[in-house]
Amino acid sequence: MKVTVDEAKCCGAGTCVLLAPEVFDQREDDGIVLLLDEHPGEELHATVREAATVCPGAAISVHETA
């Protein structure tokens, strides 16, 4: 899995950070998403997919890799 984020789409809701703090964080000044791990371990895949699904700005993309 490869995760990407589009900072321009992020509204700073923070749902991704609540779900997967190992993968996502937020900038201090404006709350925009920071990607900590673009290749999270398999144990986090379901949670990262959920974060992408519930993201109100649709700022998170998940790309399945072999």
**pLDDT at residue 13 in the model:** 96
**pLDDT at residue 65 in the model:** 83
Distance in angstroms (rounded) separating the CA atoms of residues 39 and 27: 20
Written as tens digits, the pLDDT of the chain (66 aa) is 999 999 999 999 999 999 999 999 999 999 999 999 999 999 999 999 999 999 999 999 999 986
| Tally of CB atoms within 10 A around 14 | 14
Q: Which pTM does this prediction carry?
A: 0.94
Distance in angstroms (rounded) separating the CA atoms of residues 24 and 14: 9
Burial class (CB in 10 A: 0-12, 13-18, 19+), 48: buried
Q: Which residues contact 12 (CB under 8 A, 6 or more apart)?
A: 26, 30, 31, 32, 33
